[in-house]
Structure 1
Amino acid sequence: MKRFLCVIAVITVLAVTLCACGRAAKPLSEIFEKLKTDYNITDMLEYKSADDLSRYGIKSEDVEESAGGVNKTGVNQEEIVLVKAKDADAAKRVEDALNKRLESKLNETKNYNPEQYAIVEKCSVDADDNYVSMIISSDAEAMKKDYRAGIGIK
């Protein structure tokens, strides 16, 4: 009986270890690079540090890690912001700031660019634990799936 319990304990530890390995999040910069490659994203003014997120009202002290950028043509509304906040309170502040940005983009495009407005309208700000993202693209749904897989959420 002791041997049986020992085998069960070893199997349980191995299963937990293997599951934990599968959930490890990749660095956001790596996820962003993969999105750019897989979805042929060009003309992107990339954010180099958390300080670049101040344009959204996001404080660098709320950010543990970030990646993303905005289309630099001015017409295309494509924008990707990936943030890992330092804690739950910081994640809420980041989410609020990105929701304001999304609303602003909707207002900007509503009357002058109906095609881009339709793209922005289908997008959202998503929060998963301390990870917050805003992906505005015609491929947003597919990109979100890839992003979520990258941070270890199925």
Structure 2
Amino acid sequence: MKRIIALVIAAIMSVSVLAGCGGGADLNKVMTDINSSYSLNLKSLESKDDLSKYYSIDPEGVKQFAAEIDSNNNAPVEIILVEATDADAASEIEKALAARYNSIVSQYASYTPEKLDSVKKCKVTKDGNFVSLIVADNAEEILQKYQESIK
């Protein structure tokens, strides 16, 4: 009888541990889905250090991320999806991505004003600890797909 009770308690504990892991999306899977839907050919950022290098994001504040950028600069395409470790880190990441977005707007205003309207349709978003910068021709559709995946 004691063994049965012990097994039941162990099973309940296992289920409760797994239930706690369910909140959130796998951002690499989200990026894969975006790439398959929109046939993007972008360069992946591989490490949290890349986020620091390109966006001045503190790696300690990043729980997970998926990031891809246009490596040949033919068009303004950057998709940065980040889950922060907490609300404070999410706010800091939002500031860093907003600074990058403003830089992109300035760059395209100066050098390729014909593409500026498409860049202005893009934006940085924050939903809880999830922060994104999506700059692409289909930004609104990509953002919707992303937001659906993190709910």
Verify same fold: TM over 0.5.
yes
Name the CA distance, whole Å, in 2 between partners of 1:52 and 1:84.
Answer: 15
Q: Pick the aligned partner of 1:45 from 23, 43, 46.
A: 43
Q: Could you say which residue in structure 1 is the equivalent of 2:139?
A: 140
Q: Which amino acid letter does the alignment assign opposite residue 27 of structure 2?
A: L
Q: Could you say which residue in structure 2 is the equivalent of 1:130?
A: 129
Deviation at 1:128, TM superposition (A): 0.2
Name the CA distance, whole Å, in 1 between partners of 2:61 and 2:133.
Answer: 16
Write the deviation string for residues 76-131 of structure 1: whole angstroms up to 9, x where unpaired: 11100000000000000000000000000001110221232221111110000000
Q: Could you say which residue in structure 2 is the equivalent of 1:116?
A: 115
Q: Are 1:77 and 2:76 an aligned pair? A: yes
Identity %: 34
Report the 3-state secondary structure (helix = DSSP H, G, I; strand = E; otherwise coil) of the residue aligned with 2:111.
coil
What is the root-mean-square deviation in Å for CA atoms of aligned residues? 1.4
Structure 2 gap ranges (5+): 1-18
Name the CA distance, whole Å, in 2 between partners of 1:129 and 1:31.
Answer: 17
Aligned length: 130
Q: Which amino acid letter does the alignment assign opposite residue 138 of structure 2?
A: D
Q: Could you say which residue in structure 2 is the equivalent of 1:13?
A: none
Q: Could you say which residue in structure 2 is the equivalent of 1:9?
A: none
Name the CA distance, whole Å, in 2 between partners of 1:73 and 1:142.
Answer: 23
Structure 1 gap ranges (5+): 1-19
TM-score (norm 2): 0.82
Deviation at 1:24, TM superposition (A): 4.4
Name the CA distance, whole Å, in 2 between partners of 1:24 and 1:59.
Answer: 23
Q: Could you say which residue in structure 2 is the equivalent of 1:92?
A: 91
